[in-house]
Amino acid sequence: MNRVFSKNKLLHYLLMVSVAISTVFSTNAAYSQAVLTPLLLYFGSSAGDNFTTGTEEGRTSAINSGYYFVRKEGCAFRYPRSGTVPLKLYFGSASGDNYTTGTSDGANSAIVSGYYFVRTEGYVYPTQQPGTVPLKLYFGSASGDNYTTGTSDGANSAIVS
């Protein structure tokens, strides 16, 4: 299923990468589903890639590429709102890695690493707000996979004791 990362390697990379990249709404948020889009995690076993998407185009792309659905990570706004930032998807052709980030540091890191911008997956708050949960970014050095999660299950699957 999801690739797991050793604690030592994970901690090393967490120091290098912004951990709380943005915040998303929990599934219990009091916003209309017409305003929100679910952030869904897919996994491609042949590429060893975790892919978090909030768009129909992303879901279709994941399924057509042989990825399978793992879980709902949270929700993002479908359109920009006051105080939100875009949740951007980048793709690394050389690594086959999808990288979803909501920070300028994350976007710069992606570009410097040879990733290209694909699309905006939704809009999120840059800091945690009431009724939201933080998105966290994990990086697996062995797999080269950037993994964005907003759930405790996702965080637990990224760390091996």
pLDDT digits (tens, 9 = 90+) for 73-82: 888 999 999 9
**Residue 112 half-sphere exposure toward CB, CA atoms < 13 A:** 6
What pLDDT is attached to residue 115?
93
| Residue 86 parent element (H or E) | strand 85-92
Rounded to 5 degrees, φ, ψ at 136 are -120, 145
Strand positions, DSSP E, 59-158: 68-77, 85-92, 97-101, 116-124, 132-140, 145-149
What pLDDT is attached to residue 145?
75
Model confidence, pTM: 0.77
Task: Give the residues across from 120 on adjacent strands.
Answer: 88
pLDDT at 6 over 50: no
Q: Positive or negative, the Cα torsion across 130, 133, 135, 140?
A: positive
The whole-angstrom separation of Cα 61 and Cα 13 is 28
Mean pLDDT score across all residues of the chain? 77
Mean pLDDT of 63-86: 93
The whole-angstrom separation of Cα 28 and Cα 24 is 11
- What residue type is 117 in one-letter code? F
- Of the pLDDT bands very low, low, confident and very high (cuts 50, 70, 90), residue 111 is very high
- Residue 106, C-beta contacts closer than 8 angstroms, at least 6 positions apart: 17, 18, 21, 88, 99, 137
